[in-house]
Amino acid sequence: MNLTLVGIAGIVILLLVLFFLGMPVGFAMGIVGFCGFWYVRSFKAAVTMAGTDIWTTFSSYGLTVVPLFILLGYIAFNSGIAERLYDAAYKWFGHFRGGLAIATIGADELFAAICGSNTATAATMGAVALPEMKRYHYDTKLSSGTVVTGGTLGTIMPPSVVLIIIGLQTEQSIVKLFLGGILPAILLGALFIVTIFVLCRLDPQLGPAGPKTSFGEKLRSLTGVIEAISIFLLVIGGLYTGLFTPTEAGAVGVFVTLLVTVLARRLTWKGVVSSVSDALKISCMVFFLVTGAIIFGRFLAVTRIPFMVADFAASLEISRYVILTFVLIIYLIGGCFMDSLGFLVLTVPIFFPLGIALGFDPLWYSILLTMVTTLGAITPPVGVNIYVVKALAPDIEIGTIFKSVSFFLLASIVCIAVLILFPQIVLFVPGMVH
């Protein structure tokens, strides 16, 4: 059989295995890649390739950054940093109409600066913010939507696990990807706040104003923010100045956060064990996703599919932005059915060379793909953040949460459009690093 046909058959079989067997994404990519390689070459070549890839990926120094940043996120998650961030944001914004929702986005933004996962951000802030918003009679449409979408900031604001994986897969600087994510994350947070403001202007019952706090209380609340900002500055500042490699930044972040939270007696031994076990579980999942994608990528490379797709797209007589829109729509739809990280890892070997062939800046293109795929976490049917909020507030109907997300979805799409029109928003900060 023609190699191209074998490649297409491999992709079709992968989708069938993914959707009809419910096999984990990393394993499915690994097994289909293995079988495809076996078909094209031989069993011996396939088993040698799979064994070598697993060993080299697992023992790669570059990937050691993953468990360290995930551990940092879980320690922050289990140590109550989020409560103090929310308290500070609440003291500053709580007295405005929709102020608690704005406070949630503000705290999300700060928490995302030390935690690289959208689910962890949504779960942490939801546990803190949802009961407060309920207490002040916020409409569930606003409260649930805020928590669900605010969590997506965790993927874009550095340190982000998704950006680390894209960096490793596409051989880009993780530092530059981290720096490239800062302004888009701030812009997205600002657009969420504008959305809340507009919604509360249109319907004041959505988010009634909370009680006022004195200026002294506002100032005192800032002590709760210092810790998170210090960790962020240490990690990102160390990376920016070249003091640390990404792996070292993760380890220093873990060490300092652990030290501060244990000394302040905010993290128990049980919390440490829970953080380590959850970090191992998530990191292992990420490692095998990457390994599976590498094995599948080897099979695709033999069939030359990624290069053919890139050449075909580059030869089309249409604007590259039309192709980009197509790619983004594919990512948006794909993100609805698959976990965002899984979908990215699966498709980057095909769509990244395409973006490069079209002449897009790899850093800007990677941030765009991350932003679009992240929307999958807040869209049906497998929007993981939605189910996190449902678990936190079982009395809120799932339909209400889906509806509430639609307002914020518009803000995300506007943000993506702004980034397409003004790539400098992504490229400005990384451009300052030499």
Within 72-101, which residues bind other proteins (CB under 8 A)?
A: 77-78, 80
Shortest Cβ 163–other proteins spacing (Å): 18
8-37 residues in contact with other proteins (CB under 8 A) are 18-27, 30-31, 34
- Tokens representing 263 are 């000394």
Shortest Cβ 338–other proteins spacing (Å): 5
- Tokens representing 355 are 């973006």
Calpha distance 427→181 (Å, rounded): 9
Kindly tell me which residue out of 1, 2, 59, 269 binds other proteins, with binding defined by CB under 8 A: 59
142, exposed or middle or buried, with CB in 10 Å at 0-12, 13-18, 19+?
buried
Stretch that binds other proteins, among 168-176, 315-323, 347-355, 379-387 (CB under 8 A): 379-387
Kindly tell me which residue out of 104, 117, 118, 119 binds other proteins, with binding defined by CB under 8 A: 119
DSSP codes joined into one string, 396-408: S-HHHHHHHHHHH
Kindly tell me which residue out of 4, 42, 60, 205 binds other proteins, with binding defined by CB under 8 A: 60
Q: Is 80 left (phi over 0), alpha (psi -120 to 50) or beta?
A: left
Stretch that binds other proteins, among 94-102, 179-187, 192-200, 277-285 (CB under 8 A): 277-285
The smaller minimum CB distance to other proteins, of residues 15 and 417, is found at 15
**Which amino acid belongs to residue 407?**
F
**Which amino acid belongs to residue 98?**
G
Q: Which of 102, 73, 18 is nearest to 339 (CA)?
A: 18
Q: Which residue bears the tokens 């993981």? A: 384
If residue 116 lies in a helix (H) or strand (E), which one and from where to where? none
The smaller minimum CB distance to other proteins, of residues 223 and 268, is found at 268
The smaller minimum CB distance to other proteins, of residues 20 and 215, is found at 20
Calpha distance 154→110 (Å, rounded): 9
The smaller minimum CB distance to other proteins, of residues 33 and 184, is found at 33
Rounded to 5 degrees, φ, ψ at 244 are -125, 155
Question: Which string of x and - marks every residue 160-189 that binds other proteins (by CB under 8 A)?
Answer: ------------------------------
Kindly tell me which residue out of 9, 13, 40, 54 binds other proteins, with binding defined by CB under 8 A: 54
Q: Which of 111, 101, 107 is nearest to 160 (CA)?
A: 111
The smaller minimum CB distance to other proteins, of residues 195 and 347, is found at 347
Question: Which string of x and - marks every residue 284-303 that binds other proteins (by CB under 8 A)?
Answer: xx-xxx--------------
The smaller minimum CB distance to other proteins, of residues 80 and 362, is found at 80
Q: Which of 66, 124, 71, 81 is nearest to 278 (CA)?
A: 71
- Tokens representing 24 are 């984990």
Residue 385 · residue 154 · CB < 8 Å? no
Kindly tell me which residue out of 55, 312, 321, 326 binds other proteins, with binding defined by CB under 8 A: 55
Asked if 39 is part of the footprint of other proteins (rule: CB under 8 A), the reply reads no
Three-state SS letters, 284-332: HHHHHHHHHHHHHHHHHHHHCHHHHHHHHHHHCCCCHHHHHHHHHHHHH
User: N- to C-terminal Cα distance for the chain?
Assistant: 49
395-434 residues in contact with other proteins (CB under 8 A) are none
Calpha distance 279→284 (Å, rounded): 8
Q: Which of 72, 169, 67, 164 is nearest to 113 (CA)?
A: 72
Kindly tell me which residue out of 163, 236, 279, 367 binds other proteins, with binding defined by CB under 8 A: 279
Q: Which residue bears the tokens 């997300």? A: 405
The smaller minimum CB distance to other proteins, of residues 98 and 126, is found at 126
Kindly tell me which residue out of 233, 316, 333, 391 binds other proteins, with binding defined by CB under 8 A: 391
How does DSSP classify residue 107? H
Shortest Cβ 362–other proteins spacing (Å): 26
Question: Which string of x and - marks every residue 123-142 that binds other proteins (by CB under 8 A)?
Answer: x--xx---------------
Kindly tell me which residue out of 118, 283, 379, 412 binds other proteins, with binding defined by CB under 8 A: 283
312-371 residues in contact with other proteins (CB under 8 A) are 337-339, 341-342
232-261 residues in contact with other proteins (CB under 8 A) are 244, 247-248, 251-252, 254-255
Q: How many residues bind other proteins (CB under 8 A)?
A: 71
The smaller minimum CB distance to other proteins, of residues 24 and 423, is found at 24
Q: Which of 86, 110, 80, 111 is nearest to 100 (CA)?
A: 86
